[in-house]
């Protein structure tokens, strides 16, 4: 086999091996990569930052283990932002699978804040500062129903408490008291929130999505239907950057530490694409 044939028929296992090496090495030997914050993420950050004190932030956790690496860092960064600014949080999920991950994210961030709290007033207290509403199927029913009454849709929270007995729910009736909804999702839910909750009840919607969904969602940012957009691991790293630089929260930045691997993996793929194309053109010229 000559060189041109070799360029055209690189064994996929060699490509996987090279890809594994360039992904693993930057994780073991970390390098600093500057994170440049782009307008869509900054817009989302500002939307969270400017939630009025009498309103709450609603977070729809719709990621499952398959998309956890991209979306979980977003959830953690948003929760850190909200709790640092003492913004009240209502968490929920439109699917079953994300429930455990949502609880883990809430527990982690609440634990971080409470470990540094000096008094009960400083602490993040369940029922007072945040509530995990849980899950109610099918998705359309809670989205539409919460426009009328949140406690009617979620009579009990994730832990089995009567929601109307929780202090925070005394002043949160429906979407009128929700300053912003952020949907962290790997599928269509952001469009459902826009279609059913925004059109009908005027709810502001921000989105954190996987990179695969990005090209579908950018038009909604441009029209103003989304109040901000975070895309994939890069978007999560940008939000982490904002949380660190503007709020001085210095926690482990999972998405940011992955960026060098992401960069090198892209370079490797581009190199392989170029090699394949060069081989193709040389072969075609020979014919």
Q: Give which of 272, 207, 230 is closest to 11, Cα–Cα.
A: 272
Residue among 76, 139, 78, 131 at smallest CA distance from 104: 76
Stretch that binds another protein, among 46-54, 109-117, 121-129, 227-235 (CB under 8 A): 227-235
What is the SS3 assignment for 148?
A: coil
Does 16 engage in binding with another protein (CB under 8 A)? yes
Among residues 4, 37, 211, 247, the one that binds another protein under rule CB under 8 A: 211
* Binder among 63, 132, 196, 239 for another protein (CB under 8 A): 196
Secondary structure letter of residue 118 according to DSSP: S
- For position 93 contacting another protein by CB under 8 A, the verdict is no
| Alpha carbons 152 and 168: distance in angstroms, whole number | 15
Residue 261 within binding range of another protein, rule CB under 8 A: yes
Structure tokens at 13: 């296992």
> Does 267 sit near another protein (CB under 8 A)?
no
| Options 135, 154, 175, 239; binder of another protein; rule CB under 8 A | 135
Rounded (5°) CA angle 218-74-155:
100
Give the strands of the sheet with 56-62, arranged side by side: 130-135, 89-93, 56-62, 178-185, 205-209, 226-231
**268, 274, 278 from 271: Cα distances, Å:** 5, 5, 10
Q: Is residue 210 a contact point for another protein (CB under 8 A)?
A: yes
Residue 232 binds another protein, judged by CB under 8 A: yes
Q: Which stretch binds another protein (CB under 8 A): 52-60, 68-76, 117-125, 162-170?
A: 68-76
Cβ distance to another protein smaller for residue 30 or 167: 30
Q: In this chain, which of 27, 117, 274, 282 binds another protein, going by CB under 8 A?
A: 27
Find tokens 């309103």 and name the residue. 55
Which residues would be at the binding site for another protein (CB under 8 A)?
12-13, 16, 19-20, 23-24, 27-28, 30, 39, 43, 66-70, 96-97, 135, 137, 140, 144, 191, 194-196, 198-200, 210-212, 214-215, 219, 222-225, 231-234, 252, 254, 258, 261-262, 265-266, 269
């Amino acid at each position: 086999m000559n060189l041109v044939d070799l360029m055209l028929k690189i064994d996929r296992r060699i490509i996987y091996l090279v890809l594994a090496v360039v992904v693993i090495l930057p994780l073991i030997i970390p390098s600093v990569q500057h994170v440049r914050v782009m307008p869509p993420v900054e817009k989302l950050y500002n939307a969270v930052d400017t939630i009025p004190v009498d309103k709450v932030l609603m977070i729809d956790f719709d990621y499952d283990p398959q998309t956890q690496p991209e979306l979980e860092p977003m959830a953690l960064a948003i929760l850190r932002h909200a709790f640092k600014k003492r913004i009240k949080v209502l968490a929920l999920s439109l699917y079953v699978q994300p429930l455990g991950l949502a609880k883990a994210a809430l527990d982690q961030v609440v634990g971080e804040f409470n470990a540094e709290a000096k008094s009960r007033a400083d602490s993040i207290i369940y029922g007072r500062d945040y509530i995990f509403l849980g899950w109610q199927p099918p998705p359309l029913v809670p989205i539409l129903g919460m426009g009328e009454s949140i406690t009617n849709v979620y009579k009990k929270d994730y832990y089995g408490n009567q929601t109307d007995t929780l202090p925070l729910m005394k002043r949160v009736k429906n979407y009128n008291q929700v300053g912003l909804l952020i949907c962290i999702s790997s599928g269509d839910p952001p469009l459902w929130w826009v279609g059913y909750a925004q059109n009908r009840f005027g709810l502001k919607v921000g989105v954190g999505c996987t990179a695969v969904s990005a090209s579908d969602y950018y038009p909604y940012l441009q029209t103003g239907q989304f109040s901000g957009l975070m895309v994939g691991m890069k978007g999560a790293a940008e939000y982490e950057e904002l949380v660190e630089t503007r709020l001085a929260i210095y926690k482990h930045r999972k998405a940011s530490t992955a960026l060098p691997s992401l960069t090198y993996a892209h370079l490797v793929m581009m190199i392989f694409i170029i090699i394949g194309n060069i081989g193709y053109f040389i072969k075609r010229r020979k014919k």
